[in-house]
Amino acid sequence: MKPVCLVMGAGAGIGGTVGRRFAHEGYHSVLCRRSDEEGLNRLVGAIHEDGNEASGHLLNAIDEGAIEERVEAVEADIGPIEVVVFNLGAQIGDRSLAGTSYKAFELGWRMACFGLFRVASSVAPKMAERGKGTILVTSATAAVRGNKGQHSHAAAMGGRRMLCQSLNAEFASQGIHVAHILIDGAVDAPDTLGKMLGAERFQELRETRGMENDGLMLPEKIADTYFHIAQQHRSVWTHELDLRAFSDRAWWNH
Amino acid sequence: MKPVCLVMGAGAGIGGTVGRRFAHEGYHSVLCRRSDEEGLNRLVGAIHEDGNEASGHLLNAIDEGAIEERVEAVEADIGPIEVVVFNLGAQIGDRSLAGTSYKAFELGWRMACFGLFRVASSVAPKMAERGKGTILVTSATAAVRGNKGQHSHAAAMGGRRMLCQSLNAEFASQGIHVAHILIDGAVDAPDTLGKMLGAERFQELRETRGMENDGLMLPEKIADTYFHIAQQHRSVWTHELDLRAFSDRAWWNH
Amino acid sequence: MKPVCLVMGAGAGIGGTVGRRFAHEGYHSVLCRRSDEEGLNRLVGAIHEDGNEASGHLLNAIDEGAIEERVEAVEADIGPIEVVVFNLGAQIGDRSLAGTSYKAFELGWRMACFGLFRVASSVAPKMAERGKGTILVTSATAAVRGNKGQHSHAAAMGGRRMLCQSLNAEFASQGIHVAHILIDGAVDAPDTLGKMLGAERFQELRETRGMENDGLMLPEKIADTYFHIAQQHRSVWTHELDLRAFSDRAWWNH
Amino acid sequence: MKPVCLVMGAGAGIGGTVGRRFAHEGYHSVLCRRSDEEGLNRLVGAIHEDGNEASGHLLNAIDEGAIEERVEAVEADIGPIEVVVFNLGAQIGDRSLAGTSYKAFELGWRMACFGLFRVASSVAPKMAERGKGTILVTSATAAVRGNKGQHSHAAAMGGRRMLCQSLNAEFASQGIHVAHILIDGAVDAPDTLGKMLGAERFQELRETRGMENDGLMLPEKIADTYFHIAQQHRSVWTHELDLRAFSDRAWWNH
């Protein structure tokens, strides 16, 4: 029975690609995303074509019980969850305070912060009992500095970062590796950046900054580091790291 | 007409004492707290006895509309809110992940993070129109580092800190001074620390660490710095500062 | 006998103005600077005209023994040093790595980092014996983030910030208040910014950003906060705070 | 011709082990350390026994010209330096301010901060010309927080961290990957921890915390991460990460 890698937020970007990578390394990847059944099937299909194991579920993480039931079902039907990739974002673009509704603010928190709390509450006790597990949390610049128009996003991600540290403080010594991975830049991801920019501008960005210029972060390469972190020996765990394109300035420089 | 200082979380500790200080400096202090009408009346009464202006309201900050309606009523009935002291905490003591219910986690966010968002949403547009205002946010060590048992508290406060930075990024140039004041230690506050420890242990702590040893942070002295921050000239605003007793170690040293 | 405020780096900007302010509050201010005897005399003269006490010394802080001997002489001839304002900068403008000589790199450290170590080594034992003292350290954005062209400056200031934390860890409980004051912006200071820009561009900057726009940090207003920090009750000391003009973005936002 | 990995500070711990790992991956490792020719020969010999390439040099990094000449000689005699592992520490144990001589303070800076500046000044122009290179900087908790008795160490490491950020800001876009690797815990390293503790206490620590408990950081496992960082695709570089044993608390929690 293969160990399971559960991906929350498995679009055609970091989530799906990391899932595919873990499948390639011998995990059964369970891909969960909110919408786009066709896209989900495409990702699962690609993993199957690689000759590896995966399954997919449409799941709205903010629905009551949705996360908890999925965790239970995966553990019962597929196997012990050894790795969680928590990849739910809450970026809604820049919005002034007046343009940020209570609902939007709460939604950001429900996905990016409460969502992780729910996953951890469901999964950590099982991992602790087994004495091992890994929770890889995709994070964003907004987790370390607030900015204009980022009221909802920064509040959600900042809370999430402190939650990661609190989870680490309780569970590291029980064998659970929590890593907070700060994605500090634009990812070559059709399902997030692509949708935010629209097809045309995204293609343009790819041609000018990405491609041979390597100025967009490549999900396959991000997956290398996610997998490395998950493989670190327990005497040398990384809790926090940043990732950005060589040609980009670090967040503290702009 | 006196300018108004609105205190959210006005117990016998930082909130009430800062309110009294602003009243002493010429503000009408509006003290809001969730419960203990007698305690509230005592605080308002003390300000009146000083010969200064204050009013008090019991208000559950997590109730829908409670914050918003209070802001409107104050502006209509008393005068323009020039200073907000946001002093709602979310410390519930150390609780393991298993011991932290979804409800507790959400409540922490509702008070400490969403509460500030609601106050800011209500008050910032008015302040921006007047070209001036001050929002003083009492914060805690949990805003800058997660810790064992602090899942709810740290997630709420970490989010709040990033929200403060986002508010500052949008509103500083419009004349609104947002300050994040990190209280890094135990405050000589009967209504919070006192209740958490119980009367006897609190008195003991006061006698050993506080009193002439100055090892408990004195609310009157904290109020000096709150008032100083509120009075800073707009060419030299502080966004973040820490406060702790001289005899205590800084959070990064323990 | 008045308590002494010793200012290292007393130009017509933060240093001289803070010294004048402490003199106004009852201290004898000892102003030390490297060069410009006329400028030094002007500052001391202005304090005398205020009816307050001051003396001045030309002193090259990197000379062997210069700091140590001055401290001894002040303690012997004038009185106990109660406050040190360490205001030596090491900003040499943006220089590429190739354009930063070993000498320039070392000089930055000698002034901004080793200089503070020497002052602290000379003064802290005396303060500790007396059970009280304050060391106010003017700092810069470069203490918290490196940047292009800031190799020397950032290395010196980053070291200095960690030294401040180490001094605080050893001496706070002995009654010495060490504060690291991050000046995050342009100061309306003829002797530093003025000289760096040249008279004409400085006047232009003053007219566009400063003056009624308050976009340049005013030394008199900075002095308000320095004095406040020095007066904080020992149950509520601030170790670190930032200062910037309301119209400026915080360092983490650009 | 193999690419060169130059290790500054190649003892039987992180430095020597990382050097051996890079040799195993196809680099010629040049091991430099201050003393213990026998130990150096043992490390070089072990790499040769692996069937890989290495050479060793005794080199006192604080000697004038020592670093610069070694870099030139390596480039001329062995090949282009592709990776630098800067592993010079400056930990001298806990010393009070009074117990920290000017000489000790300066020495810390000369090794840990100025040493990196000199290596970077020598090597970065060559790497930039070739459009590629990696500088891996071993760092310590003292780089992010000062502490009691750490005056010299923290000032040196704090400066070094800001220097790393400045180097990154200038050189990342030119193809040079600078990584600041925060070793937050005790390493199972005979040449550093072992010497500091003495043979007996070190063995005891190994038996209680290390060995099957994995509470001491294993250099071989640290080397995995160093190598991973050096291999990251340039669209996804890590600038800063921490490493600690799963059973240890993070620095911000103690």
For an interface test with C, give the residue of A144, A147, A248, A249 to mutate (most C CBs within 10 A): A147
Distance from the A128 Cα atom to the nearest Cα atom in chain C, whole angstroms: 36
Asked whether the beta carbons of residue D252 and residue B254 sit closer than 8 angstroms, the reply is: no
Find the residue in A nearest to B142 (Cα).
A162
Which residues neighbour A98 within 8 Å (Cβ) at sequence distance 6 or greater? B121, B125
Tally of domains within chain B: 1
Question: What is the nearest CA distance from A111 to chain D, expressed in angstroms?
Answer: 25
Cβ contact, residue pair D159, C109, below 8 Å: yes
Nearest CA in chain D to B147: D253
Nearest to D162 among C105, C125, C142 (CB): C142
pLDDT of the residue at A92: 82
Q: State the pLDDT at residue B103.
A: 97
> Tell me, what's the pLDDT at B45?
98
Which H or E run includes C4?
strand C4-8
Integer-rounded Cα Rg, in Å, for chain D is 17
DSSP 8-state code for residue D247: T
Contact C254 A254 (CB under 8 A): yes
D138 in a domain, yes or no? yes
**pLDDT at residue D194 above 90?**
no
In B, which residues are within 8 Å of D147 by CB distance?
A: 253
The residues of C whose Cβ lies within 8 A of any Cβ of A are 144-145, 147-148, 251-254
- Cβ of B148 and D253 within 8 Å? yes
In this prediction, residue C247 has a pLDDT band, given cuts at 50, 70 and 90, of very high
Cβ atoms of C166 and D148 closer than 8 Å: yes
Is C80 domain-assigned? Answer: yes
pLDDT digits (tens, 9 = 90+) for B127-147: 999 999 999 999 999 999 999
Mean pLDDT of C145-162: 97
pLDDT of residue B125: 98
pLDDT at B113: 98
Mapped onto helix, strand or coil, the DSSP state of residue C7 is strand
Instruction: Mean pLDDT check: name the lowest of B72-86, B173-187, B202-216.
Output: B202-216
Alpha carbon distances (Å) from A187 to A14, B17, C247, D159 = 8, 49, 32, 32
Across-strand partners of D86? Answer: D8, D137
- Pair of tokens at residue C74: 């002040």
CA-to-CA distance for A156 and A119, rounded, in angstroms? 16
SS3 D166: helix
Considering CB atoms only, which of C147, C148, C252 is closest to A145? C252
The span from the CA of C182 to the CA of C42, in Å, is 27
- Of the two residues C124 and A92, the one the predictor is more confident about is C124
Q: Is the pLDDT of residue B211 over 80?
A: no
Q: How many Å lie between the alpha carbon of A170 and the closest alpha carbon of chain D?
A: 9
Residue B39 C-alpha, separation from nearest chain C C-alpha, in angstroms: 25
Q: Cα separations (Å) of B110 from A106, A150, B67, B106, B115? A: 9, 18, 12, 6, 6
**Dist CA B114 CA B119 (whole Å):** 9
| Residue A227 in tokens | 């997998």
Q: Which residues are CB-neighbours of C16 under 8 A, at least 6 positions away?
A: C7, C10, C31, C43, C191, C219
Q: What span, in angstroms and rounded, lies between the C-alpha atoms of D155 and D97?
A: 12
The model's pLDDT over A140-151, given as tens digits with 9 standing for 90+, comes to: 999 999 999 999
Tell if the CB–CB gap between A244 and D234 is shorter than 8 Å: no
**What is the residue-averaged pLDDT of chain A?**
96
CATH number, domain containing residue C55:
3.40.50.720
Cβ pair B155, B202 in contact under 8 A: no
* Cα nearest neighbour of B229 on chain C: C225
3-class DSSP state for residue D1? coil
Instruction: Give the per-residue pLDDT at B170.
Output: 98
CA B181 distance to own-chain centroid: 9
Please report which confidence band the pLDDT of residue B63 belongs to, taking 50, 70 and 90 as the band edges: very high
Residues of chain A in contact with residue B114, where contact means CB-CB under 8 angstroms, are: 102, 105-106, 109
**Kind and range of the H or E element at C84?**
strand C81-86
What does the pLDDT look like over A13-52, one tens digit per residue? 999 999 999 999 999 999 999 999 999 999 999 999 999 9
Mutation to test the C interface, candidates B236, B241, B242, B248, most C Cβ within 10 Å: B236
Asked if residue A199 is part of any domain, the answer here is no
Instruction: Compare CB distances from A147 to C144, C251, C253 and report the shortest one's residue.
Output: C253
Residue A39 lies in a domain: yes
* C-chain residue closest to B253, CA distance: C169
Residue at D210 is within a domain: no
Give the pLDDT confidence of C36-67 residue by residue, as tens digits.
999 999 999 999 999 999 999 999 999 999 99
Write down which chains contact chain D via at least 3 CB pairs under 8 A. Answer: A, B, C
> Please, what is the end-to-end C-alpha distance for chain B in angstroms?
47
Q: Give the gap in angstroms from C-alpha D254 to the nearest C-alpha of chain B.
A: 4
In a domain, B88, yes or no: yes
Closest CB to A154: pick one of B96, B163, B171.
B163
Model's pTM, two decimal places? 0.97
Min Cα separation A191/chain B (Å)? 26
In whole angstroms, give the CA distance from residue A15 to residue C219: 51
In C149-252 the beta strands, taken as DSSP E runs, fall at 176-183, 240-243
Got the DSSP string for B165-187? HHHHHHHGGGTEEEEEEEE-S-B
pLDDT per position as a tens digit, C176-194:
999 999 999 999 988 888 8
Candidates C49, C14, C48, C15; CA nearest to C31 is: C15
What confidence tier does D28 reach under pLDDT thresholds 50, 70, 90?
A: very high
For D45-62, write each residue's pLDDT tens digit: 999 999 999 999 999 999
The pLDDT of residue D211 is above 80: no
What integer pLDDT is reported at residue A195 of this predicted model? 87
Residues 6+ away with beta carbon under 8 Å from B254: D254
**Which residue among C215, C232, C253 sits closest to B225, beta carbon to beta carbon?**
C232
- Name the pLDDT band for B194 (thresholds 50, 70, 90): confident
pLDDT at B71 over 80: yes
Q: Provide long-range contacts, Cβ within 8 A and 24+ apart, for B63-72.
A: B67/B8, B67/B115, B67/B118, B67/B119, B67/B122, B68/B118, B68/B121, B68/B122, B70/B6, B70/B30, B70/B32, B71/B6, B71/B119, B71/B122, B71/B123, B72/B122
Residue of D nearest to A235 (CA): D245
CA distance B53 to chain C (A): 26
Q: What is the pLDDT of residue D192?
A: 83
pLDDT of amino acid D195? 86
Which amino acid, residue D126? K
Residue ranges making up the domain that contains A77: 4-189+218-244
Query: What is the rounded CA–CA span in Å between residue C30 and residue D38?
Result: 56
Q: How far, in Å, CA of C23 to CA of B235, rounded?
A: 23
Question: Average model confidence (pLDDT) for chain B?
Answer: 96
Q: Single out the residue of B170, B71, B62 nearest to residue B114, CA to CA.
A: B62
**Contact between D159 and D109 (Cβ < 8 Å):** yes
Cα–Cα distance between D87 and D71 in angstroms, integer? 15
What is the nearest CA distance from D148 to chain B, expressed in angstroms?
8
* For helices A219-231 and D219-231, angle between their N-to-C axes, nearest 10 degrees: 180
B147 contacts in chain A (CB < 8 Å):
165-166, 169
> What is the average per-residue pLDDT within B208-222?
90
- Does residue A213 register a pLDDT over 90? no
* Structural domain contains residue B194: no
Least confidently predicted of A192-201, B152-161, C177-186, D225-234: A192-201
Q: How many CB pairs under 8 A join A and C?
A: 14
Q: Report how far apart, in Å, the C-alpha atoms of D134 and of each of D78, D181, D243 are.
A: 17, 13, 19
Q: Return d(Cα B56, Cα B61) in angstroms, integer.
A: 14
User: Which tokens hold the place of B2?
Assistant: 């006196």
Contact A236 D245 (CB under 8 A): yes
- B37, two tokens: 């009408």
Instruction: Render pLDDT for D7-19 as a digit per residue (tens, 0 to 9).
Output: 999 999 999 999 9
Mean pLDDT of B86-110: 94
The alpha-helical segments, DSSP class H, found in B78-150 are 102-109, 115-130
For residue C221, the chain B residues in CB contact (below 8 A) are 232-233, 235-236
Token pair for residue A115? Answer: 């969502």
Per-residue model confidence (pLDDT) at position C81: 98
Distances (CA, A) of C37 to C33, C40, C85, D66, D82: 9, 5, 20, 42, 52
- What are the angstrom distances between the C-alpha of C139 and each of A189, C86, C142, C180, D64? 41, 9, 8, 6, 31
Q: Are D160 and D120 in contact (CB under 8 A)?
A: no
| Percentage of residues of chain D with pLDDT beyond 70 | 100
Contact (Cβ atoms closer than 8 angstroms) between residue A125 and residue B98: yes
> What residues of chain B lie within 8 A of the CB of C222, using their CB?
236
pLDDT tier, C141 (very low <50, low <70, confident <90, very high otherwise) = very high
Which strand (E) or helix (H) includes residue D85?
strand D81-86
How far is residue B145's CA from residue B251's CA, in Å, rounded to a whole number?
9
CB-based contact B166 A156, cutoff 8 Å: no
Whether A244 shows a pLDDT value over 90: the answer reads yes
> Taking the CA atoms of chain A, what radius of gyration do you get in angstroms?
17
- Say if A210 falls within a structural domain: no
Query: CB–CB of C3/C29 below 8 Å?
Result: no
Q: State the pLDDT at residue D70.
A: 98
Lowest mean pLDDT among A87-96, B242-251, C153-162, D112-121: A87-96
Do D218 and A233 count as a contact with CB atoms less than 8 A apart?
yes
Query: Looking at beta carbons, which residues of chain A come within 8 Å of C145?
Result: 252-253
CA of A249, closest CA in chain D: separation in Å? 7
- The band of A83, judged by pLDDT with boundaries at 50, 70 and 90, is very high
CA distances from D73 to A60, D33, D142 (A): 61, 16, 33
Q: Cβ of C251 and A252 within 8 Å? A: yes
